């Protein structure tokens, strides 16, 4: 009798284990400095079939917001908390004397927050990361100390994609393999290498019965622009028509896809301040076209590598049980070596002749005119709190919630990833973790919004970086940017009627302007924003050859 009872209990437990739904896997894919309209699902001409398939099987998120720069966004993705609280109130590289030592300005993901990997690891997940970290490289600050069981990372914000050469003077690439200095292969390309390592982690985890959280943080297409040999000439001649022709073609496709209303025009605030395509010399046009060819090649290769991961999930039967979020970390990059204050160093140390562009030993940046094209239809680009800096391309695939081919207009934010994955995992956000008190979660779960792609949502979100400010509240938006990039006063936009923010309504609606300005002040106070004078050129001096907006 006892033997029969034991057998019955064992069979019941086995049935319950099989019947219990498996926690979903989580795959976060982040591109670095990818523009809003660069990829096919968002109207781009760059060949990105893997991302197109992801969008066809999932949803394009047209109102997904990040921070204006990379580490700022990454701190919010990892924590679910505003960057001014999570430790990246500004980029560590741009920390000003007034901000040093202040809470939220530690320059790394601080210990008042827990990372997604820490919390999901506690919930029974395998946790993997490859790619760019940019959230601290000191003792206890790297992924190996912040919950990732396996990690292969670039510590800082950027590097050559093909070797260990410096991105800035004295800023040599630093790679870590599970927290220890990595042994790098003699030949590599960053996107290929990060994908290889992630696939290795996923394969080793097969059969352990655990779901995974995989964070694949590519450094493409961040400068310096470089591409593998097989891709470098794929787009030859495609950009010879220049900035305006490419921008208009993208606008036409975005309208045909239903991403923009018919008749929507692009907001190009720097148009009059920089040379047009026709005003460039023939040699300059050649250089500019080649630069964008290399950029497109990097994005194409990025898509190829994303496809490798999706193919793996399909082969292993895990694709439909994986919540996938693809996004860019901020708007397109518009800087040049002159704006980065390294023009002489680049000239002395790199070979940027036409035949070497995009190869090892070259150093290219996209520049402000192509940066504005990548941001189409939004104004400005990375480093700005205008939409071109913070409204990023994003795609979600998860068949249990998301209808295939949806265009989702809900207002989402990078902070929303943390509560979303905790809900999927059936886990709670704790008040304390590892004997430390955590800041309250600020993001919202995306799941209800993903199920209702066009539902009205009244939500308030604020931004600040480098003294630039903005706030969105429902369809209303205010921003303040110093001249020549703004009036230096609060500007008001009705994004329902003016989605590309071309018509300042502050004078017409002073009461609404004051309301939103007060909301921003409350946001700044609640999050500990520390003002500091601007003492640097990055994003404040944008140059195309000898013409500068500054």
Is 413 among the residues known to form the active site?
no
Report CA-CA distances (Å) from 192 to 62, 152, 273: 28, 13, 38
Q: Which of 47, 70, 84, 304 is catalytic?
A: 70
Angle ∠(162,393,277) on CA atoms, nearest 5? 70
- Which of 480, 445, 385 lies closest to 90, judged by CA? 385
Q: Which of 134, 161, 304, 413 is catalytic?
A: 134
* CA atoms 151, 331, 547, 95: torsion sign: negative
Question: What is the side-by-side order of every strand in the sheet holding 212-217?
Answer: 180-181, 175-177, 150-154, 126-132, 212-217, 25-31, 322-328, 394-397, 59-61, 406-408
Rounded to an integer, what distance in angstroms lies between the CA atom of residue 154 and that of residue 339?
Answer: 24
Rounded to an integer, what distance in angstroms lies between the CA atom of residue 122 and that of residue 117?
Answer: 8
- Cβ–Cβ < 8 Å for 128, 150: yes
- Cβ–Cβ < 8 Å for 445, 419: yes
150-154 and 126-132: which strand pairing? Answer: parallel
- Cβ–Cβ < 8 Å for 136, 107: yes
- Distance from the first to the final alpha carbon of the chain: 87
Angle ∠(54,391,158) on CA atoms, nearest 5? 80
Is 161 among the residues known to form the active site?
no
Distance of CA 185 to the CA centre of its chain: 27
**Which residues are known catalytic residues?**
70, 134
């Amino acid at each position: 009798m006892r033997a029969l009872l034991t057998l019955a209990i064992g069979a019941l437990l086995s049935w319950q284990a099989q019947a219990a739904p498996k926690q979903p896997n989580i795959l976060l894919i982040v591109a670095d400095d990818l523009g809003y309209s660069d990829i096919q699902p968002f109207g781009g001409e760059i060949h990105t079939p893997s991302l197109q398939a992801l969008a066809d099987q999932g949803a394009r998120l047209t109102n997904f917001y990040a921070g204006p720069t990379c580490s700022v966004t990454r701190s919010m993705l990892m924590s679910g908390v505003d960057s001014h609280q999570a430790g990246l109130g500004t980029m560590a590289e741009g920390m000003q004397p007034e901000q040093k030592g202040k809470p939220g300005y530690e320059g790394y993901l601080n210990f008042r927050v827990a990372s997604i990997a820490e919390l999901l690891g506690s919930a029974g997940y395998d946790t993997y990361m490859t790619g760019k970290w940019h959230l601290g490289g000191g003792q206890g600050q790297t992924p190996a100390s912040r919950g990732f069981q396996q990690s292969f990372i670039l510590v800082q914000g950027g590097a050559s994609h093909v070797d260990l050469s410096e991105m800035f003077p004295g800023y040599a690439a630093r790679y870590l393999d599970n927290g220890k200095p990595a042994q790098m292969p003699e030949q590599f390309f960053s996107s290929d290498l990060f994908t290889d390592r992630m696939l290795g982690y996923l394969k080793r985890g097969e059969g352990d019965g655990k779901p995974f959280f995989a964070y694949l943080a590519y450094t493409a297409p961040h400068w310096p622009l470089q591409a593998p040999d097989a891709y470098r000439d794929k787009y030859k001649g495609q950009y010879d028509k220049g900035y305006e022709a490419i921008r208009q073609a993208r606008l036409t496709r975005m309208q045909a896809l239903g991403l923009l209303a018919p008749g929507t025009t692009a907001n190009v605030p720097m148009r009059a301040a920089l040379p047009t395509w026709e005003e460039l010399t023939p040699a300059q046009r050649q250089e500019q076209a080649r630069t964008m060819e290399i950029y497109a090649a990097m994005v194409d290769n990025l898509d190829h590598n994303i496809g490798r991961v999706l193919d793996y999930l399909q082969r292993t039967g895990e694709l439909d049980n994986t919540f996938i979020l693809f996004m860019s970390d901020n708007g397109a990059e518009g800087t040049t070596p002159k704006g980065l204050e390294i023009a002489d160093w680049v000239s002395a140390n790199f070979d940027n002749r036409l035949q070497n562009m995009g190869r090892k030993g070259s150093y290219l940046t996209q520049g402000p005119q192509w940066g504005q094209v990548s941001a189409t239809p939004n104004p400005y680009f990375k480093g700005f709190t205008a939409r071109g800096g913070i409204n990023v391309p994003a795609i979600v695939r998860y068949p249990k919630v998301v209808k295939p081919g949806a265009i989702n207009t809900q207002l989402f934010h990078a902070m929303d990833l943390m509560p979303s994955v905790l809900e999927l995992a059936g886990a709670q956000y704790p008040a304390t973790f590892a004997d430390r008190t955590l800041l309250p979660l600020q993001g919202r779960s995306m799941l209800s919004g993903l199920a209702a792609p066009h539902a009205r949502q009244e939500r308030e979100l604020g931004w600040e970086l480098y003294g630039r400010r903005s706030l969105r509240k429902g369809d209303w938006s205010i921003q303040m940017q110093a001249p020549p990039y703004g009036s230096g006063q609060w500007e008001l936009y009705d994004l329902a009627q003016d989605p590309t923010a071309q018509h300042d309504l502050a004078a017409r609606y002073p009461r609404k302007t004051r309301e939103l300005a007060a909301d921003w002040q409350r946001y700044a106070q609640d999050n500990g924003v520390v003002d500091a004078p601007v003492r640097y050129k990055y994003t404040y001096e944008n140059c195309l050859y000898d013409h500068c907006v500054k």
